[in-house]
Amino acid sequence: MAQYGRIYKDDEEREKRFQICKDNVEFIESFNYASNQPYKLNIDGFAYQSHEEFQASHNRYRTSLNPMSSKTHLLQMRT
């Protein structure tokens, strides 16, 4: 936890994050051991987030990737 500068509001939050990290480490180790992928997983600063938390904060809809971004306006003609 100290390696990534994590500071938590209380012991309950620290324990929750520790358990999430522990679960993620177990997943990483089992993936690396059993996988025949050309890559390996490793621990990083996101190891203290659950899968759902990571998705919510990093896989959001990005309007800049959408061809109909917020800078584009549709004009409807009245006849």
Other CB atoms within 10 Å distance of the CB of residue 27? 13
- Can you say whether the dihedral through the CA atoms of 73, 76, 77, 78 is positive or negative? negative
Q: 18 — alpha (psi -120 to 50), left (phi > 0) or beta?
A: alpha
**Residues, the chain, total?**
79
Q: Give the model confidence (pLDDT) of 31-58 as tens digits.
A: 999 978 899 999 998 899 998 898 888 8
What domains appear along the chain, each with residue ranges and CATH number?
Answer: 2-61 (1.10.287.2250)
Identity of residue 56: A
| 54 in Cβ contact with 46 (< 8 Å) | yes
pTM of the model: 0.63
CA pair distance 79, 71, nearest whole angstrom: 25
Rounded to the nearest integer, the mean pLDDT of the chain is: 79
